[in-house]
Amino acid sequence: MHVTARTEKPADARFVHVHGASLDYGEDGEGFLALKDMSLDIGRGEFAAVVGPSGCGKSTLMKLISGLTPRSAGEVEVNGADVTRPLKIVGMAFQNPALLPWRTVLENVLLPIQVVRPHRSDYRVNKAPFIERARALLAKVGLAGVEERYGWQLSGGMQQRVSLCRALIHEPEILLLDEPFGALDAFTREELWGVLQDLWCERGFTVLLVTHDLPEAVFLADRVHVISNRPGRVIYTTDIDLPRPRTQEVCFTPRFVEYVHELRSHISQARQVI
Ligand SMILES: Nc1ncnc2c1ncn2[C@@H]1O[C@H](COP(=O)(O)OP(=O)(O)O)[C@@H](O)[C@H]1O
Ligand SMILES: [Mg+2]
């Protein structure tokens, strides 16, 4: 039997489908276009990255896909269905891990389960499997033993690991990451690339990563999209054809450096496109 490789995904190539989408933050026709004619497809299980100048609409794109903000025009579909309200199959993490200081690490990870239906009622009836799941996730990202500590007792990198676990606890099909490692030092950031890659390889969810860091995009993604200055739209897309799992050594290969340079030149153009 022919086994479809993870990178071949014709049937699911439009798992996330954004076509000709715009988003206007202006009220009463004042017109403040954050996105215009944005088109982007992400295959099921794909790791996609988006890079672009500050203020070009990257976070806005995340809000559009997650259903937190309705589009003004165009198509936004996930798994073949029009996105009209916040999606439950999405997990999100941001630059600021935003852990609740009065909750332990374990309680922070469990938060989405305690809030979102249908997990909420399942959790009330039987907490043990969820606690087990949270502990397993924390162990997976190297945080076994810190479950009962508080976020403020942890380093920035450890807090960001907790934030990743919280984003994944309800086993979302899509993980949206908005500059998740932006505030970390270079060593910690590179460590977390490995953690994220392992989670993704093991669990096979679909990722959209927004980042300022071009090596981060090339290291992690199957495909990188460059977005123009506001109003944002995709002006360049490249597939990253590097074998997996990727290790730090790949960052020193000519191919890797070439991808980063190529993206950098497109970012320079992106800053000029009005
Ligand atoms: N809720 C909002 N209301 C009005 N303008 C907004 C809102 N959110 C973002 N913007 C504006 O839309 C543009 C795109 O923002 P954003 O998506 O946050 O950019 P990025 O994440 O690429 O830095 C920016 O000019 C920003 O100031
Ligand atoms: Mg942003």
Identify the residues whose C-beta falls under 6 Å from ligand 1.
Answer: 25, 32, 34, 54-60, 230
Q: Coil, strand, or helix at residue 69?
A: coil
Q: Coil, strand, or helix at residue 126?
A: coil
- CA 53 to ligand 1: nearest atom: 22
Sorted by where each starts, the structural domains of the chain and their CATH numbers stand as: 12-89+206-274 (3.40.50.300), 91-172 (3.40.50.300)
**Best mutation site among 24, 36, 92, 230 for ligand 1, i.e. most ligand atoms within 8 A of its Cβ?**
230
Tokens of 199: 């989670």
Establish whether the linkage from the previous residue to 254 is cis, with ω within 30° of 0: no
Nearest to 78 by CA among 247, 164, 206, 196: 206
Distance 57 CA to ligand 2 centre (A): 7
Distances in Å between the Cα of 214 and the Cα atoms of 189, 198, 219 are: 13, 20, 9
Tens place of pLDDT per residue across the chain (274 aa): 344 344 444 559 999 999 999 999 987 656 789 999 999 999 999 999 999 999 999 999 999 999 999 999 999 999 999 999 999 999 999 999 999 999 999 999 999 999 888 899 999 999 999 999 999 999 999 999 999 999 999 999 999 999 999 999 999 999 999 999 999 999 999 999 999 999 999 999 999 999 989 999 999 999 999 999 999 999 999 999 999 999 999 999 999 999 999 999 999 887 775 5
**Best mutation site among 51, 56, 209 for ligand 1, i.e. most ligand atoms within 8 A of its Cβ?**
56
| Residue 274, CA atoms < 13 Å, CB-side half-sphere | 0
**Using alpha carbons only, how large is the chain's radius of gyration in Å?**
19
Distance 61 CA to ligand 1 centre (A): 10
Distance 54 CA to ligand 2 centre (A): 7
> Is the pTM value of this prediction over 0.85?
yes
- CA 179 to ligand 1: nearest atom: 21
- The residue contributing the CA closest to ligand 1 atom 18 is 59
Strands 47-51 and 223-227: parallel
Instruction: Measure the CA–CA gap between 62 and 59, rounded to whole angstroms.
Output: 5
- CA 52 to ligand 1: nearest atom: 22
- Cβ contacts of 119 within 8 Å, gap of 6 or more: 112, 113, 130, 170
